[in-house]
Amino acid sequence: MSEPTGAARRRGPFKVGDQVQLTDPKGRHYTFTLEAGKQFHTHKGAFSHDELIGASEGSVVRTTGNVAYLALRPLLPDYVLSMPRGAAVVYPKDAGQILAFADIFAGARVVEAGVGSGALSAFLLRAIGDHGMLHSYERRQDFGDIAQGNVERYFGGPHPAWTLTVGDLQDNLSDTEVDRVVLDMLAPWETLDAVSKALVPGGILCAYVATTTQLARTVESIREIGCFAEPQPWESMVRNWHVEGLAVRPDHRMIGHTGFLVTARRLADGVEPPMRRRRPSKGSYGEDYEGPNKERGSQG
């Protein structure tokens, strides 16, 4: 049985073409690709790539200035934060939430819109494996080219489960029987009609948006289309801790707001979503709002 795409690049001694992440004594990271005969230069001296080729991961190399660097392969979260960018990347904390709460499983059929620099695509491909399907849609050719280069660099070549289409999702979506849809775009509500037709009953829609106005419109649009269960919106924040002896305290900096996530389950065809039990606060939708939730809220 052959190994999954990219697995061989994640284990064993360092080889030519491997990505290497160096960590200096101050914890700073430097990422490069191993090439025979090349040298890596820092302000603290240099060393030859040949010193790492054939060495075990977790080795330490010293520069001509006698500064020690720890050499490891970059984890995927490290890789996506250091790779070339066209658009902003989906941060690892959000990618992890998407994989968990959109329930991305091995073999899943996934549609993604808004490829950006390819960070989320790499996470999705590693989760679905070689026998899943990821069809990514990106409006801009330049972003698509950058994303394709980043993804292929990480996996060591084209991924057999990935198809990239340049164009609008709502105009080009032809996939059917889709298990999951992940939207990272300015106006995800514009795609809901096409997405609802592609998703299987019980399938999950996951939208990633940056602002509260986008969040509100996305949630209300999912409610109004009438073929999804109640959407669940949230955000996550990450704070590291300093631990040294008895000095245990939170770091002064944290990864705060990066974006909002919304998930919703596709209902069976012809089924109306159950009425929400919680009545919206008076004035939540404004006096002039005539959408279906005004009626539902008054009955709640």
pLDDT tens profile 76-107: 999 999 898 888 889 999 999 999 999 999 99
Q: What gap in Å lies between CA 99 and CA 128, rounded to an integer?
A: 10
Average pLDDT over residues 207-235: 96
Q: Looking at the predicted structure, is the pLDDT value of residue 295 above 60?
A: no
Higher pLDDT, 195 or 9: 195
Given a cut of 80, whether residue 35 has pLDDT beyond it is yes
pLDDT tens string 241-268:
999 999 999 998 888 889 999 999 999 9
pTM reported for the whole predicted model: 0.88
Residue 55 backbone phi and psi in degrees, to 5: -80, 155
The Cα 92–Cα 27 span in angstroms is 19
- pLDDT over 70 at 69, yes or no: yes
Burial class (CB in 10 A: 0-12, 13-18, 19+), 44: middle
CA-to-CA dists, residue 274 to 35, 183, 221, 282, angstroms:
60, 25, 16, 21
pLDDT of amino acid 2: 79
**What stretches of 88-178 show up as alpha helix (H) in DSSP?**
92-101, 119-128, 141-155, 169-172
Position 294 scores a pLDDT of: 47
Residue 278: pLDDT band (50, 70, 90) is low
User: Which pLDDT does position 29 carry in this prediction?
Assistant: 92
